[in-house]
Structure 1
């Protein structure tokens, strides 16, 4: 099994439940971890035998451009697109952190984590 990860991908997006959040936007950090069994001999040095982390980044970029009320929805969309692009993937973990969420006090970030397979799918 091979793990591929992107850590600390930073985006400015307009996700948020409240209209002000969708208007003003916020900074987000996205981490992705993907585990898979290579599709061929990894010694062939062929990108088709692995998960392309550049493609993972593009998927995240595209999803972060579409404002949504819930970052859970964004995380699930990212997970679904990875599953569709790479059906041989065994595990996916997507973490989205919303930096400085608009709360009554100072909070570094709020976050969600999407795991595939979920406990219900095991």
Structure 2
């Protein structure tokens, strides 16, 4: 299996349960790892035979622009779109970290990790 990854993609977005979070926004970091088994010989050196991490980044950008109350919802949307764009993928892991969440004390980040396939 081959894995491609994006680590530390940074976004400013308006996700949060409370109206203030959706109004003020916050910084987020996203890590995405996608595993797949090549369907063809990778020695032919064609981008169409792999998972294009530029397209994965674009998916993350587009989903981060959609304000949502839960970062879990954002993570699931990213996973669903990667599966749709690259139906040959076997595993996807999306981690979203909300930097400096508005809590009573200092916290570096809160976060969520979404895995595909789901482990039950």
TM-score higher than 0.5 here? yes
Alpha-carbon contact 1:39-1:48 (below 8 Å) kept = no
Higher mean Cα deviation, 7-16 or 34-43?
34-43
> Structure 1 length as normaliser, TM-score?
0.97
The answer to whether structure 1 residue 33 and structure 2 residue 59 are counterparts is no
**Which residue matches 1:14?**
14
Aligned to 1:98, the other structure's residue is in SS state: strand
Q: CA deviation at 1:40?
A: 1.0
Where has structure 1 moved over 2 Å in runs of 4 or more?
A: none
Q: CA deviation at 1:20?
A: 0.1
**Cα RMSD (Å) of the superposition?**
0.5
For structure 2, the residue ranges without an aligned partner over 5 or more in a row are: none
1:21-49 residue CA offsets vs partner (Å, 9 max, x unmatched): 00000000000000001121100000111
Alpha-carbon contact 1:37-1:90 (below 8 Å) kept = yes
**Which residue matches 2:113?**
113
1:42-88 residue CA offsets vs partner (Å, 9 max, x unmatched): 00000111000000000000000000000000000000000001110
Give aligned pairs, total: 120
Counterpart-to-counterpart distance in 2, 1:100 and 1:39? 42
**Which residue matches 1:2?**
2
For structure 1, the residue ranges without an aligned partner over 5 or more in a row are: none
Q: CA deviation at 1:119?
A: 1.1
